[in-house]
Structure 1
Amino acid sequence: MTVLITRPEPGATQTASRLRALGFDVMLEPLFRIVFETPTTRPIDDYAAVLFTSRNGVDGLSRLYAPSTLSRLTAFAVGDRTAETARQAGFDTCHSASGTAHDLHDLIVSSIKDSEKPLLYAAGRDRTGDIEQRLKASGLEVDLAEFYRTEPSPALAPATITALTQGRIDSVLLYSRRTAEQFFRLAEQADIYDGLGSVNFLCLSETICDYVKGKGHFSCRIAANPDETSLLSLLD
């Protein structure tokens, strides 16, 4: 079975390693490129905690601060893998919501009470959801800082186009609606819709799957939980 990985680097290579270890053939087609930025924030010690909704946010922040500095802060992460990335970056204390942004909101609200310090949301420029607004509505002060942005790929690689046209790709991993939109945009640009009928689209959320179904009669499956382990389990 050949799996097409669409997430940006370095995550694409990490996912490829996981899949190869499980015996799958893989092709890498990162549909976006991560570009890190340096936003203006308060001094890092002025924050009560940092919240992350992606590993890219962790990578963006950790580029700017030494592990010894981050070790003094508490972090909150949307999922276990993001939490593990935060710990590797230097956060000694990192709480994982092991779920969605809604779960992360509830975890933070239940954990932080009567803090006079604000929270720092290490986010990307292109994002879904409004966790910072929901936290503010719950009475917490939140600074939103964009530590990275994503740039779309201009076209599918020739090898990917050939493999899709010849029906050699069994499954495509889709991690966000934006990634799904980009995939179908580039597939249409390459005029290869006819080669997608046999592809299984494996989606991290129902929102992504609904978009895929809206593009045609495509096979689509949804991960039981919004994390990569659940997504990859759809390949079993």
Structure 2
Amino acid sequence: MAARRVIVTRPAEAAADLQAELAARGIEALAAPMLTVETIEPEDALPTALQAVLVTSGNGAQGAARLGLRRDLPVLAVGDATARAAAEAGFTAVTNAAGDAASLVDLVARACRPEAGPLVWVSGEAVSTDLVAALEAGGYTVIRRIAYRTAMAATLSSEVVAGLRAGAVEGVLFFSPRSAEAFARLAHGLELEAACATVSAYCLSDPIARMASKLAWRTIHVAETPTKAALIAAVVEGGSDRKVEKD
């Protein structure tokens, strides 16, 4: 039996672990990083009396460390990978919202008080949810610090293109709307629409699925929960999770 094969679109620094996890389940993963990350140095000093740090990505957690924030400050992380990155960066009081941006807003409501001081949100330049607006509506003061920007890939590797054209790929994994947008743009440019129509898209969340739907996939699957483990489980099970059928 031929090995199952998928494409992973995570940035190179995050793809290796995902490839290893899939390989352990008998699934070969071709790397097609759709984004490269560039750090942005902070321009303004932060207040010393911060209540908590909010991070919505591993790169955001690393950015929080570069800001020189106290490592004992409470850190509220959006999910497993982000919480792990914050701990690896040396933060000692990390709480995991175990979900998406809405889950993080709920966690802030439970763990923080508007009158207890400002929150700092360390993020990338492009975000899918405006946490500042969401939390200020609840009376919180939120300072956003942009720690990195992402650039979209300019091409797909010959191996990835050949695999798609030969029908040797069964799925593509997307972890962010920008990755899905970048892949769709390249697929259109390389005239891969027909090839993608025989392939399933596996998306971490509904916003990612909406962006992925710029291509006419065989099926779009959305993980039951917005975690890497849930997305891997969906791939392993062949897509027995929620489905967003093409029109």
Matched, 1:49 2:49: no
- Aligned match of 2:136: 136
Q: Within 1, Cα distance between the matches of 2:179 and 2:90?
A: 30
Letter in 2 for 1:48: Q
Secondary structure (helix, strand or coil) at the match of 2:85 reads: helix
Spell out the pairing of 1:1-236 with structure 2 (5 A cutoff). Answer: 1-43=4-46, 45-65=48-68, 70-113=70-113, 115-216=115-216, 218-236=218-236
* Structure 2: segments with no counterpart, 5+ residues: 237-247
- The verdict on how the C-alpha distance between 1:211 and 1:125 changes in structure 2, with shifts beyond 3 A counting, is closer
Count of residues in Structure 1 that have an aligned counterpart in Structure 2: 233
CA apart distance, 1:116 = 4.3
CA apart distance, 1:199 = 1.0
CA apart distance, 1:27 = 0.6
Deviation by residue 1:147-178 (Cα, 9 ceiling, x = unmatched): 01001111111111111111111110011222
Provide the identity percentage: 30
- The verdict on how the C-alpha distance between 1:141 and 1:186 changes in structure 2, with shifts beyond 3 A counting, is same
CA apart distance, 1:186 = 0.3
* Structure 1: segments with no counterpart, 5+ residues: none
Letter in 1 for 2:23: R
Deviation by residue 1:118-161 (Cα, 9 ceiling, x = unmatched): 11100100111111111112111111010010011111111111
User: Is 225-234 or 207-216 further displaced after alignment?
Assistant: 207-216
CA apart distance, 1:17 = 1.8
Q: Within 1, Cα distance between the matches of 2:217 and 2:112?
A: 46
Letter in 2 for 1:111: A
CA apart distance, 1:109 = 1.9
Q: Within 1, Cα distance between the matches of 2:209 and 2:129?
A: 17
CA apart distance, 1:70 = 3.5
Letter in 2 for 1:151: A
Q: Does structure 2 conserve the Cα–Cα contact (< 8 Å) formed by 1:77 and 1:104?
A: yes
Letter in 2 for 1:95: T
- The verdict on how the C-alpha distance between 1:46 and 1:38 changes in structure 2, with shifts beyond 3 A counting, is farther
Q: Within 2, Cα distance between the matches of 1:34 and 1:41?
A: 21
Secondary structure (helix, strand or coil) at the match of 1:191 reads: coil
User: Is 203-212 or 49-58 further displaced after alignment?
Assistant: 203-212
CA apart distance, 1:43 = 4.0
CA apart distance, 1:53 = 0.9
Secondary structure (helix, strand or coil) at the match of 2:150 reads: strand
Secondary structure (helix, strand or coil) at the match of 2:87 reads: helix
Letter in 2 for 1:119: L
Letter in 1 for 2:169: I
CA apart distance, 1:60 = 2.1
- The verdict on how the C-alpha distance between 1:178 and 1:14 changes in structure 2, with shifts beyond 3 A counting, is same
Q: Which TM-score applies when normalising by structure 2?
A: 0.88
CA apart distance, 1:114 = 5.1
Q: Does structure 2 conserve the Cα–Cα contact (< 8 Å) formed by 1:39 and 1:147?
A: yes
Letter in 2 for 1:218: R
